[in-house]
Amino acid sequence: MTAVIIAAGFGSRLWQTSHQIPKTLLPLGKGTILSTIIERLMAAGISELIIVVGFNHEYILRYLEENPPALPLRIVENLQWERGNALSVYKVKDYVGSEPFLLSMSDHLVSVEALKMMIDHPERLNLLLVDPFIEDNFDLDDATKVRQEDGYIVQIGKELTHYNALDCGIFRLEEDFFNAVEKAVTKGIESISGAICELANERRIKTLILDKANQWLDIDTPEAYDFALSQGMPVS
């Protein structure tokens, strides 16, 4: 299965405007946030990787040239990286075809066990990995909330007040996701969550639920980054 990492954005909640290096290249363990994500994807069984770049992409390109992953890699550039993140995913439409693919954010660390669960799930339907252990989350205020019913996503968004799971930032997507992006964009919504809402309206996206807590972390703030460093964030 192909994995897509979107690494086009600036990451303003973690970086100050004076920083030029994309936050996915922040040091972590023996490498960077990006290399840790790639290592976990490879360990989970991913066979091909697509990375969508945008903001100061030359730093990521140089890093990958100096630290090439041990699997086929394609780089796709999003010149509209300042717009919604769904547009970054849309850039890979012609490369993934009709096959399902794994989508990862460039600042979410997810356990290999959870990634394997997503890859190996037999149902051909859009999937979102969700965390039901809400009280264990490191930064609940910043987390994207999910309301699910009977395994299907009903609502998603950071501002939800009634929810029963959290978005872990890992999707397994089908070809109809791109149609959902197009529908959302016509409504002026360019976020991944906006496209997921379109799929939810058609009952075309289900949740895959973590069976234990603390299998993922969103490194979106200085506090979350410090927490990742303090934990050592092992690969599995």
Tens of pLDDT, residue by residue over 80-112, are 999 999 999 999 999 998 999 999 999 999 999
Span 130-160, pLDDT tens digits? 999 999 998 898 899 999 999 999 999 999 9
pTM of the entire predicted model: 0.92
Of the pLDDT bands very low, low, confident and very high (cuts 50, 70, 90), residue 13 is: low
Q: What is the mean pLDDT of residues 75-82?
A: 94
Q: What is the mean pLDDT of residues 62-78?
A: 96
- What pLDDT does 234 receive? 46
- What pLDDT does 222 receive? 87
Check pLDDT > 90 for residue 227.
Answer: no
Matching CATH number, 2-231, of 3.40.190.10, 3.40.50.11440, 3.90.550.10, 3.40.640.10 = 3.90.550.10
- What pLDDT does 235 receive? 42
Of the pLDDT bands very low, low, confident and very high (cuts 50, 70, 90), residue 230 is: confident
Instruction: Please give the mean pLDDT across all residues of the chain.
Output: 92
- What pLDDT does 11 receive? 61
The pLDDT > 70 percentage for the chain reads 94
- What pLDDT does 16 receive? 52
d(CA 42, CA 104): 13
Span 193-206, pLDDT tens digits? 999 999 999 999 99
Domain ranges (residues) in the chain: 2-231
- What pLDDT does 232 receive? 60
Which residue in this structure is represented by tokens 């051909």?
124
